[in-house]
Chains A and B, each alone.
Chain A
Amino acid sequence: MSLLEIRGLCVRFGGLTAVSRVDLDVEEGALVALIGPNGAGKTTAFNVITGVYAPSEGSVRFAGREIGGVAPHTICSLGVARTFQNIRLFRSLSALENVRAALQGAKRSGTGDMLRLAGWRRREAAAETEARALLDELALGSFASARADSLPYGEQRRLEIARALATRPKLLLLDEPAAGMNPAEKQALRELVRRLRADRGLTIVLIDHDVSFVMNLSDRVAVLDHGEKIADGAPEVVRRDPHVIEAYLGSDGEAPA
């Protein structure tokens, strides 16, 4: 059974069909890339998986459970975490606070915090240690006390990943993590994604514009165009797929390298 199983997914906004009859399977431990031109419906698909939108039709199953239309925070607690295409950090909070909010966000007790009985300080310290370890893992240790919006761009992207990891996900959805990065930064990001997958046994779905970024990274590439899935398979195969080439470049030519 696949960890994520999407069947006949349609998302409509009024008269606009953003995602149309899409099927997608993501096996446990896989790294699947979701690519396609702007407006192809990639982010909309993510928004449905994470509960931001409810599907108009079709089903989304995670670990065997239907999650279509379930509240985002509930889906997170089941083990799905994400980053955002337009960085959505808690801007005025420090990097450490961003991660800690995610560590403790779901299982908090207001009365516990107010009373601060025995063990409270130890639990807070443990959470802080864990948050610092996550920041270190993503090479953000030196930014712990810096405001999130004061971080350089690449660090903000990594902080979003750190925050997502703090929710201890099984499935990590990365929405254009390489956007706005230069080739060297992209290479470093590829290494990071590989490392996270290997070290943490994560299942990852990653959105990007072009095939080249995900070429040596993902096991499988699914291509969306105008809301429909037009190809799904090994990266080398998808890259030569005439439908994909047409979607990107018109009727003749090659997929962008």
Chain B
Amino acid sequence: MRARSLLWLGVAIAFLVFLDVAAPRLLNPYYVTILSRIGIAVIAAVSLQLVNGFTGQFSIGHAGFMAIGAYASAALSVFAGAAVLAAAAQVVPLPVARLAYFPVALVFGGLVAAVAGIVVAVPALRLRGDYLAIATLGAGEIIRIAILNIDAVGGARGFSLASPEYPSIDLRYESLAGVFGVALIAIAAISRLVYAGGGLAFRAVREDETAAESIGIATTRVKVEAFLIASFFAGVAGALFAHSEGYIHTNTFGFVRSFELVAFVVLGGLGSLSGAILAAATLTALPEVLRGLGEWRMVLYSLLLIATMLLRPQGLLGQRELWPISRLKGGGG
């Protein structure tokens, strides 16, 4: 079993190296950007799936946590990262320093978003169903508008990842390996979390809170935990977005983006990580594929959404996964 884990790790690393080395040479920058956005959408979708699909808490403000991750990490890079990189460049080559700094910025964005996640979750998760949905929608908007009014991060002008003091330090990272590396980590972490004996607590809360409490599951703790992990990965996704685009604006993280994320998890199938991945990738690529249709593009996009929900109300994959989880279910012996 150990050997198989190592094999998978090797495959993953080879895949990432291939992406980083080959993709920019084979594809034009437009496709690289789309791939990068797909990776970011996948991270946000699998994290939201933990809350909406597995724990059954319908959150529709997830873009707010992406915004926090994006702005927190961007602010770190502009106000501190640039200076640190300039100093480090005296000692080690700049690319090496950049490589070491990048994960720090991502984790920082994730952690700030996770703190915000707890602040939102503790009061909001006392609510159920529609009320919770409205509360998370409100929280997402509050976050967006609060950031819009912080002049230090650009306010309504948006925020560029460039330090006025160190104009020579490039703070952008357009790295497919970074995006898909994080995506693989997010998928592995959440999949291992929910598809374990202990992870049944999330689904137990989704199925019946009263029964879950009666068998010793601290349901509030489980819900807050789901929210915490989800907002962490949303924050990392936001940080990746900020550093690959090089410019962010609060408009990107409005409720339209939140609903787009909800569409990923519902269309993919609530309670299916592979479904969320599939839907996030498809729905991110689709508007680009349909670009040739001009103004009919979004009409067709919407019609496809409606048709899918009519034909498969349980989502593309329902609660199934494309990788085996039968041991937990009881099949296979």
Contacts and interface: CB of A to CB of B under 8 A. Distances in A.
A174 to B, nearest CB: 13
B204 A73 contact: no
B215 interface: yes
B310 interface: no
Interface in B25-84: none
B13 to A, nearest CB: 19
A97 B210 CA distance: 17
B94 interface: no
B330 A94 contact: yes
A96 B200 CA distance: 11
A163 B211 CA distance: 10
Contacts of B319: 92
A146 to B, nearest CB: 8
Q: How large is the interface on B (under 10, 10 to 19, 20 to 34, 35 or more residues)?
A: 20 to 34
A110 B200 contact: no
Interface stretch (B16-24, B113-121, B191-199): B191-199
B126 interface: no
A106 B330 contact: no
Given A101-B215, A102-B215, A91 B327 contact: no
Interface in A58-115: 71-73, 76-77, 81-82, 84, 88-97, 100-106, 108-110, 112-114
A151 interface: no
Given A84-B211, A89-B208, A113-B193, A77 B198 contact: no
Nearest to A76: B216
A24 B197 CA distance: 37
B331 interface: yes
A236 interface: no
B215 A164 contact: yes
A144 interface: yes
Contacts of B213: 51-52, 71-73, 76
A167 interface: yes
The B contact surface, by secondary structure, is helix
Given A92-B319, A144-B330, A113 B192 contact: yes
B217 A73 contact: yes
B201 A108 contact: yes
B87 interface: no
Interface residues of A, number: 47
Given A92-B319, A114-B192, A97 B328 contact: yes
Contacts of B218: 71, 73, 106
A6 interface: no
Given A89-B208, A90-B211, A113 B199 contact: yes
Interface of B: 1, 189, 192-193, 196-201, 203-204, 207-208, 210-219, 225, 229, 271, 319, 326-331
8 nearest CB pairs, A to B: A108-B198, A96-B330, A106-B216, A145-B330, A144-B330, A90-B207, A72-B213, A113-B196
11 contacts: A88-B210, A92-B203, A100-B200, A103-B197, A104-B197, A105-B212, A105-B215, A108-B199, A112-B198, A113-B199, A145-B330
Given A73-B214, A100-B328, 7 more contacts: A76-B213, A88-B208, A91-B207, A104-B200, A108-B199, A132-B330, A145-B329
Interface of A: 50-52, 71-73, 76-77, 81-82, 84, 88-97, 100-106, 108-110, 112-114, 116, 121, 124, 127-128, 132, 144-146, 163-164, 166-167
